[in-house]
């Protein structure tokens, strides 16, 4: 609950009645616009957009299978042409720097659907790719795609033997030492790398023109940045040994390892939501079934293919494949925004929470149970269904919303739901006091030195933003540092993670603004005063990085391996909202920075009640994969403006600043 000073609740919103009226009007328009997007059953779901790689991979999957869909592939091609940047290539984030791997995949996909290499956009793309070093320098997943199409030799790809499926739990390289997304992606990919199938590629497309020398003439492919250092050299040597030994592996052992991988996948197919409910493992699963000779009308194959089609969104003119869908996250955050803007017992928010309550995972001990055997399940997935991989972030946010809803009138409908979720979150705390997103103690950092893992994203370690969310939930439920060991350990983790300038790293949102907002809310909920040195440093940092237009923005360059701290960028609606929520949680509702930030949001609101946001502010994997949540500029600015109004008008009793 609030730890704000009493005198911060006395001022009038903005400096004049007209500005106060503008604030109220902005909130009302945003509420109307948001609720207009609510689904009949109460939930919310907005588009989730990644870079060009996944829309290109969707097109290439169809060509791999030899099942061209002229209408759908032209819709996807229109999207790729539109998202090509002025530099000629495709970035990881809108208006960002060229990303070589995404650009090569986009070029290949456009060529596959019939775009002439002599077309102006293809000429520009080719020139940009060659200027960046050419297709020999793409990442490992792109090399695998090219190898499956016969466009590069398999020696371009590190060895990952499917026999890894037989590894004992103590073995240093094991699926359960990896993150959930790596685990589900690697299982079908191991089968593909063992069988080395060839894409149908009906148009016989090649991309030799993207290589400075013919790809099959390259003997030594570039190594990733992860292959430096002791672990990199060790795994590099192991890769060379495996390459020589792999042809000698017993065929029976390989066959049984493939069978074990298939069994792992079938247990987790997850119906219409797909394996892991994310695109890469879903696509590799379809390719694996095809390589194994399973017919398209086999029930499990048909389900896997249908799950992929459900990721495609857009219009008749243009469409793209989403990396996944986000209905649970969107619904939970929309409910928070509505409860802040209207009231904690708002019927529209309650409808969303009731929809969520029915989706709590209570009967599946997922992969997380390998590290936490005996712990009862109680979390939520991020997508419509993902029972093997519930998400602690979603779970904590949902619990805070449900607790807020029940706190107004003694409603007990969510009591058991909240209790089970809190039990699960407490049980998932890692040994260092922090929390990760899907697993506990997923900290085998040496695995990121495997040649295959040049993306550096094999792990799901505890992070500040996730830890802050779990602390906020526990504090809102009544935990206090003096009596709660999980809370004390979590707070100690956060204090160790603060950077000297005052910020915290944000793993799942760009970046230090996201992390600092999350932690400031947690520290407030746990009862720390704004005068606490850690909070004071964070306040000063947030105020110092505010843009001249009153908003906040941050570039992804802060994720570079060599620590660069915050990197400035033009203001966005979501990052501005995070900064405002963080400052208000730290007692700064009356600060000039907060006044300028709220004025920025009011001025930027569009006529439809929402906010524009072209830039990506969500994160899949730092340095590799970023996200644009279509819902972020819809509910976060509403949330921030409504909180400002509530605090300014003395409605603090209804405000919970755990988020």
Catalytic residues: 393
Using CB atoms within 10 A of its CB, is residue 242 exposed (0-12), middle (13-18) or buried (19+)? Answer: middle
Backbone angles phi, psi at 447, to 5 degrees: -65, -25
- Structural tokens at position 275: 């394996």
Distances in Å between the Cα of 341 and the Cα atoms of 25, 32, 304, 457 are 12, 11, 40, 37
- Cβ-Cβ contacts under 8 Å for 453 (sequence gap 6 or more): 140, 182, 224, 226, 447
- Cβ-Cβ contacts under 8 Å for 491 (sequence gap 6 or more): 471, 481, 523, 526
CB 600 within 8 A of CB 612: no
The four Cα atoms 177, 453, 380, 652 give a dihedral, to 10 degrees, of 110
- Cβ-Cβ contacts under 8 Å for 653 (sequence gap 6 or more): none
In DSSP terms, 313 is beta-bridged to: 320
Gap between the Cα atoms of 569 and 553, Å rounded: 5
Q: State which H helix or E strand residue 49 sits in.
A: strand 48-49
- β-strands 319-321, 312-314: how paired? antiparallel
Phi-psi map region of 232: left, alpha, beta (phi>0 left; psi -120 to 50 alpha) = alpha
Using CB atoms within 10 A of its CB, is residue 563 exposed (0-12), middle (13-18) or buried (19+)? Answer: exposed
DSSP state of 560: S
Closest of 3, 7, 9 to residue 480, by C-alpha: 3
- β-strands 48-49, 312-314: how paired? unpaired
Q: How far is CA 59 from the centre of its chain?
A: 22
In DSSP terms, 314 is beta-bridged to: 319
């Amino acid at each position: 609950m609030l730890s704000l000073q009493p005198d911060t609740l006395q001022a009038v919103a903005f400096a004049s009645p007209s500005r106060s009226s503008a604030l109220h009007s902005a909130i009302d328009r945003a509420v109307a616009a948001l609720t207009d997007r609510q689904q009949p059953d109460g939930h919310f779901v907005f588009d989730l957009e990644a870079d060009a790689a996944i829309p290109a991979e969707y097109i290439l999957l169809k060509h791999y299978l030899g099942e061209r869909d002229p209408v759908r592939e032209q819709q996807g091609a229109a999207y790729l042409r539109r998202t090509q940047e002025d530099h000629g290539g495709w970035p990881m984030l809108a208006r960002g720097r060229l990303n070589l791997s995404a650009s090569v995949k986009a070029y290949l996909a456009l060529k596959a659907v019939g775009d002439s290499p002599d077309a102006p956009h293809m000429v520009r793309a080719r020139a940009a790719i060659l200027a960046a070093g050419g297709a020999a320098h793409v990442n490992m997943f792109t090399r695998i795609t090219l190898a499956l199409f016969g466009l590069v030799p398999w020696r371009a790809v590190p060895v990952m033997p499917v026999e890894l499926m037989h590894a004992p739990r103590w073995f240093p390289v094991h699926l359960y030492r990896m993150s959930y997304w790596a685990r589900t992606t690697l299982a079908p990919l191991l089968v593909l790398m063992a069988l080395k199938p060839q894409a149908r590629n009906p148009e016989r497309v090649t991309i030799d023109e993207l290589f400075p020398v013919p790809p099959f003439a390259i003997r030594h492919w570039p190594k990733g940045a992860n292959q430096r250092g002791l672990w990199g050299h060790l795994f590099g040597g192991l890769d060379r040994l495996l390459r020589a030994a792999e042809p000698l592996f017993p065929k029976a052992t390989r066959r049984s390892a493939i069978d074990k991988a298939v069994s792992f996948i079938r247990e987790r197919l997850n119906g219409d939501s797909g394996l892991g409910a994310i695109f890469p493992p879903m696509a590799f699963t379809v390719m694996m079934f095809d390589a194994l000779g399973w017919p398209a009308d086999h029930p499990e194959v048909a389900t896997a293919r249908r799950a992929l089609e459900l990721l495609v969104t857009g219009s008749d003119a243009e469409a793209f494949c989403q990396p996944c869908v986000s209905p649970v996250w969107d619904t939970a955050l929309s409910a928070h925004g509505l409860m802040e803007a209207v009231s904690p017992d708002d019927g529209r928010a309650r409808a969303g929470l009731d929809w969520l309550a029915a989706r709590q995972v209570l009967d599946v001990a997922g992969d997380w149970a390998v590290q936490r055997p005996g712990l009862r399940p109680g979390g939520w997935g991020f997508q419509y269904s993902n029972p093997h991989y519930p998400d602690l972030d979603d779970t904590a946010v949902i619990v805070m919303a449900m607790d807020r809803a029940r706190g107004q009138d003694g409603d007990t409908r969510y009591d058991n739901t909240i209790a089970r979720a809190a039990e699960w979150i407490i049980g998932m705390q890692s040994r260092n006091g922090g929390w990760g997103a899907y697993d506990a103690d997923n900290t085998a950092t040496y695995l990121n030195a495997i040649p295959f893992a040049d993306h550096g994203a094999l792990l799901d370690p505890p992070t500040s933003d996730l830890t802050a969310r779990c602390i906020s939930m526990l504090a809102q439920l009544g935990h206090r540092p003096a009596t709660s060991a999980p809370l004390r350990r979590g707070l100690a983790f956060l204090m160790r993670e603060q950077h000297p300038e005052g910020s915290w790293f944000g793993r799942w949102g760009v970046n230090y603004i996201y992390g600092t907002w999350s932690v400031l809310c947690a520290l407030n909920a746990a009862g720390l005063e704004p005068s606490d040195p850690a909070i004071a440093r964070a306040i000063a940092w947030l105020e110092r990085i505010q843009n001249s237009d009153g908003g906040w923005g941050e570039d992804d360059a802060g994720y570079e391996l060599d620590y660069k701290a915050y990197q400035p960028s033009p203001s966005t609606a979501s990052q501005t909202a995070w900064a405002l929520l963080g400052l208000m949680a730290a007692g700064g509702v009356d600060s000039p920075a907060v006044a300028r930030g709220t004025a920025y949001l009011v001025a930027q609101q569009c006529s439809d009640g929402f906010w524009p946001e072209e830039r990506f502010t969500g994160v899949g994997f730092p340095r590799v994969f970023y996200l644009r949540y279509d819902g972020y500029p819809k509910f976060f600015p509403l949330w921030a403006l409504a909180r400002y109004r509530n605090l300014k008008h003395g409605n603090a009793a209804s405000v919970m600043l755990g988020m």
